[in-house]
Structure 1
Amino acid sequence: MAQQTLSSRQKKILSFIERFLDKNGYPPTIREIGEAVSIASTSVVNYNLNKLVERGYLERSPEVSRGLRLVKDSAQELPVRYADITSMLPVPLVGKIVASAPVPLPGEDFGYYYDTDDMIDVPQSLVASMPGDDLFALRVNGDSMIDAMVADGDIVVLKRQNIAHNGDMVAVWLRERGETTLKNYYNEGKRVRLQPANPTMDPIYVDATQVEIQGRVLAVLRTMH
């Protein structure tokens, strides 16, 4: 039987999945696919993914949000690589890391509650054997860490902790300023230097007593720019 022709929309979705897999090593979510190909409705994305499954391009694991496996690429050849969807760890995405109110951290101790819509699936390989209860994720707003390969819109996965070593990339709450920020941490005695990874930006110097570390970055989930 002749291969059914894919629609323009389905070709765009398949092409995006290929690029995303090649860049990240794991598949995109339905929301990420929709944003990339300008489809607002997740049900429309889901419909087209099912069509790609029917036509032999994809396999899906419906119980996993990143449960896509590329069977054939857009050239109808076997792909070079597959994404491992068998070891995905659900991690709460609790907000953005921005210079404003402190980001609420997950867990009852922090007075923050979330439902399944706030969860993202993170490859276990990116966070080693870290238990999911110790992890949370933030979407980055800004380019202060661009030279550390953390761009605007990317998601950082952090271990919840209140201490850091020099050179660690951390999310911190600056009490006096009433701001949160993502920077490299350096303890210089009575003050802390928060170093951006952007040559156009100056470091931030803060009284050590005014710095509250919220978490240390373990991994970066990149978005397509």
Structure 2
Amino acid sequence: MNQLSPRQQQILDFIRTFLEEHEYPPSIRDIQEGCGISSTSVVDYNLRKLEEKGCIRRDREISRGIEILGPRGRRPRIVEVPLLGTIAAGQPIPVPAADTWHAQAEETLAVTEDIVRGKTNVFALRVRGKSMIEDLIDDGDIVFLEPTRTADDGDRVAVWLKDRGEVTLKRIYRENGRIRLQPANATMQPIYTDPDNVEIQGRFISSLRPSD
């Protein structure tokens, strides 16, 4: 590895420390502020030099796509997932119409690739309520879902209830010509509805509890 300039070593140390503290890479703005650098163009120049010297790998398609290389091994690849709003894990709450509800992301989350389990087009929703608490999904958690219109019995799904114009997160079961949407909370009752009233929007992949 070519010798690093003091500035490049400072940036590399900052990236490593940031990764250890946050479990995701810093943005260029984070590096600029954390290292006291005058402009983002100076940061970008030094990142290119670090890349040329084999210290890091960058994915320019995402804002935090920096991966440290070398003796410590590869860091998990970072992917960006749109956070599309709130989903009820309790009583359903109103959300936008079924054909537009995920058109506008509130923000983008940078997460490691293991969170999305290798799936593509994953989206995230913030949970409101405690009906899935026995599945370790609590109020305020972020759930990651794979877009789908179908699911097997027992799958955890985001379901659009057409007659209410509402969406909820539950386990789905088909029985006796109707749909049972089952909470994972022994104190709560399932929702029973007609199959024509249900539109599956996404299948649960994983969840994340934001740090306090």
TM range (shorter): 0.5 to 0.7
Q: Structure 1 residue 50 and structure 2 residue 34: aligned?
A: yes
Matched residue, 1:128: 117
Give the fraction of aligned pairs with identical amino acids, expressed as a percent.
Answer: 39
1:152 to 113, 118, 139: 139
CA distance in structure 1 between the aligned counterparts of 2:133 and 2:169, rounded to whole angstroms = 11
CA separation of 1:166/1:94 partners in 2, compared to 1, >3 Å: closer, same or farther?
Answer: same
Does the 8 Å CA contact 1:140/1:152 hold for their aligned counterparts?
yes
CA separation of 1:94/1:178 partners in 2, compared to 1, >3 Å: closer, same or farther?
Answer: same
* Secondary structure of 1:162's aligned partner: coil
**Unpaired runs of 5+ in structure 2?**
1-16, 36-57
**Unpaired runs of 5+ in structure 1?**
1-13, 31-42, 52-60, 70-80
Matched residue, 2:75: 84
| TM norm structure 2 | 0.63
Alignment RMSD (CA, Å): 3.7
CA distance in structure 1 between the aligned counterparts of 2:182 and 2:152, rounded to whole angstroms = 13
Does the 8 Å CA contact 1:158/1:217 hold for their aligned counterparts?
yes
CA separation of 1:210/1:111 partners in 2, compared to 1, >3 Å: closer, same or farther?
Answer: closer
Amino acid at match of 1:90: E
Does the 8 Å CA contact 2:64/2:78 hold for their aligned counterparts?
no
In the TM superposition, residue 170 of structure 1 has moved relative to its aligned partner by 0.5
Does the 8 Å CA contact 1:97/1:103 hold for their aligned counterparts?
no
CA separation of 1:66/1:139 partners in 2, compared to 1, >3 Å: closer, same or farther?
Answer: farther
CA distance in structure 2 between the aligned counterparts of 1:136 and 1:110, rounded to whole angstroms = 14
Does the 8 Å CA contact 1:143/1:152 hold for their aligned counterparts?
yes
1:213 to 193, 200, 204: 200
Q: Structure 1 residue 93 and structure 2 residue 83: aligned?
A: yes
* Secondary structure of 2:93's aligned partner: coil
The aligned length equals 167
Matched residue, 2:4: none
Q: Structure 1 residue 180 and structure 2 residue 167: aligned?
A: yes
CA separation of 1:112/1:172 partners in 2, compared to 1, >3 Å: closer, same or farther?
Answer: closer
CA distance in structure 1 between the aligned counterparts of 2:111 and 2:169, rounded to whole angstroms = 20
CA separation of 1:84/1:178 partners in 2, compared to 1, >3 Å: closer, same or farther?
Answer: same
In the TM superposition, residue 101 of structure 1 has moved relative to its aligned partner by 2.5
Larger radius of gyration: 2
Give 1:1-225 correspondences, 5 Å limit. Answer: 26-27=23-24, 50=34, 64-65=63-64, 84-85=75-76, 87-98=77-88, 99-103=92-96, 110=100, 113-114=103-104, 118-132=107-121, 135-224=122-211
In the TM superposition, residue 28 of structure 1 has moved relative to its aligned partner by 9.2
| TM norm structure 1 | 0.59
In the TM superposition, residue 146 of structure 1 has moved relative to its aligned partner by 0.8
